Amino acid sequence: MMFDQALRGHPSWLDLPSGPRELSVARWQADATGGDAVLLDACTGPALDVGCGPGRLVTALLTRGVQALGVDVSPEAIRRTTARGGIAIRRDVFDPLPGEGRWQHVLLADGNIGIGGDPAALLRRARQLLKPSGTVVAEVERPGSGLTTGRARVRTRGSLGGWFPWACSDAESLPADGFFLLWQEESAGRWFACWEKL
């Protein structure tokens, strides 16, 4: 998987219809810091980190005494998460997952609102995973960016991955039926938002 190269720390880009975007591989590899505090502070109970990558948020939540589980399709992500003391399983978010209907928070950091290329479908899945009044805490695009759906691919120096469906959205444009937008906030040049399940 091309994302595995990024998870190993190789400079990588996500090719999008709007142009290439450099992936924040150094931030993924580091401990949670900067804007990550917004995500972490929003999680006060059991949290499912979808697309957990190398597990910086999972391990930070566990350090805070918050139950957390990472989910990722990448074996490299699972290996790196568990190596740093986190808990993670290799699974697609649309496959059966532990604790369905009992999670207090679903985390979608680092642009993972784009997983599957259909944010509405991803949020419907999040509703199934969350308990009543649970929240989705997501990293989003800056206000006014709108919603873009299409295909993306991961590129490293000298290598191109295959195309896959992806999406980018600001908080206001996200098709979040069955949720109420509680807040959005900017920190360290990144935007975050939180929706409560109705």
Share of residues in the chain with pLDDT > 70 (%): 99
Looking at residue 5, its pLDDT comes to: 79
Which tokens sit at 52? 């957990």
Domains parsed from the chain with CATH numbers? 2-51+91-197 (3.40.50)
Q: Quick check: 2 pLDDT over 80? A: no
pLDDT at 158 over 90: no
Q: What local confidence, expressed as pLDDT, does residue 157 receive? A: 82
Q: pLDDT band for 17, please (50, 70, 90 cuts).
A: confident
Cβ atoms < 10 Å from Cβ of 52: 30
Residue 86, token pair as written in the block: 């986190």
Question: What average pLDDT score do residues 123-142 get?
Answer: 98
Quick one: pLDDT at residue 18? 84
| pLDDT tens profile 28-85 | 889 999 899 999 999 999 999 999 999 999 999 999 999 999 999 999 999 999 999 9
Average pLDDT score over residue span 174-193: 97
Report pTM.
Answer: 0.95
Question: Where is average pLDDT lowest: 1-10, 35-44, 117-126?
Answer: 1-10
